[in-house]
Amino acid sequence: MRVYLDNAATTPLDKEVFDTMAPFMLEHYGNPSSIHSHGRQVRAAIEGARKTVAGLLNTSPAEIFFTSGGTEADNAAIICTIRSLGIQHAITSPLEHHAVLHSFESLEKRGEVQVTMLRVDEKGTLDLAHLEEILASQPRTFVSVMHANNEIGNLNDIQTIADICKKYDAVLHSDTVQTMGHYQHDVQTLGLNFLVGSAHKFHGPKGVGFIYVDSAIKIHPLIQGGSQERNMRGGTENVYGIIGLAKALEIAYRDMDEHHRHIQSLKDRMISKLREQIEDVQFNGLSAEADKSLYTVLNVSLPASEMNEMLLFNLDINKISASGGSACTSGVDLGSHVLRGMNADMNRGNVRFSFSKYNTAEEIDYTVATLAKLYQKETV
């Protein structure tokens, strides 16, 4: 048995998605910018995909732009908006993905914006009173707050955040990469200005994503080139990636309730069995609270031990794939910036397990039994 529990990093491609993509790899190869029939056929497919995504998000196709993934989409929302609108102040949290944090760091180093960090508590909960306090004194502000944290799974109250931002005429961007395809996003109800998605987080292909841009916000493109994406992103489109993204999101919305129930049951099972079999097991952030966390993520804090340094390696030897945090920083031995940002105990063994529709109860049982054995605890 080989167990894959790193779905927050990437998910396996759905066979139905691959079958939809395949003709655009082998048969429909025209450049969508070409005016001949080969090009027009592919252009029509891209626009059909755009219409599908827009319909699922309850918005206009004119507000959906395809990108190379969530990182590019986050960069575009932040960098292009601040530069295009001349915004000089931004608010974010220390728990954001590095696609967000590094964008702000780059702009701040260049003197293009001043960044204020929201206060967070030891559970990773954002201080929304602090957000309102800052906006009351500096209303012309860019705010970037993720919908759910990719490491600890905390769900932020994005509707309340959007309402606060609207009250003070602030521009709101939300990194929704971890929740896209797992929760419904109605941008008309939410009232935010930007949200993003990345296909490989919901069983689509890697290397393709999208950004929703509120039509009331006029920004310049991040990538210069041709007139693709209605002059918003130069470069020939990743055609089969776009086709796959739309199909994957369509399937995710179609089967969302069923998958939610299945995955939540696996997460609940793991929490229960970990508590039974490992003494002093804890859970970082709000990841063990069903109504306050992303149902696909469980961040486990294991007792201090000499073996913690090799925990992920030992899991891998036992054919279990998990992570210590974001895959984007796994090669940097600094520990999770999210856990450090909420003052978590870094001497404990902190590991993120993330689930998908393809995981089984047997895999959960095997993983917990393996952890219990590693920590030399008897099964209760």
Give the catalytic positions in this structure: 328
Spatial distance between the Cα atoms of 269 and 244, rounded to a whole number of angstroms: 32
In sequence order, what are the beta bridge partners of 117? 92
Q: Which string of b and e fits 150-173 if b means at least 16 CB within 10 Å?
A: bbbbbbbebeebbebbeebebbbb
Q: Is 116 exposed, middle or buried (0-12, 13-18, 19+ CB in 10 A)?
A: middle
Residue carrying the six token digits 């030897």: 317
Token digits for 115? 């960044």
Give me Rg for the CA atoms of the chain: 21
Whole-number Å distance between alpha carbons of 87 and 274: 47
C-beta of residue 152 within 8 angstroms of C-beta of residue 284 = yes
DSSP state of 111: T
Q: What is the pairing mode between strands 194-198 and 209-213?
A: antiparallel
- CA 183/CA 128 separation, integer angstroms: 22
Residues contacting 254, CB < 8 A, separation 6+:
none
What is the three-class DSSP state of 265?
Answer: helix
Closest CA to 32 of 24, 21, 40: 40
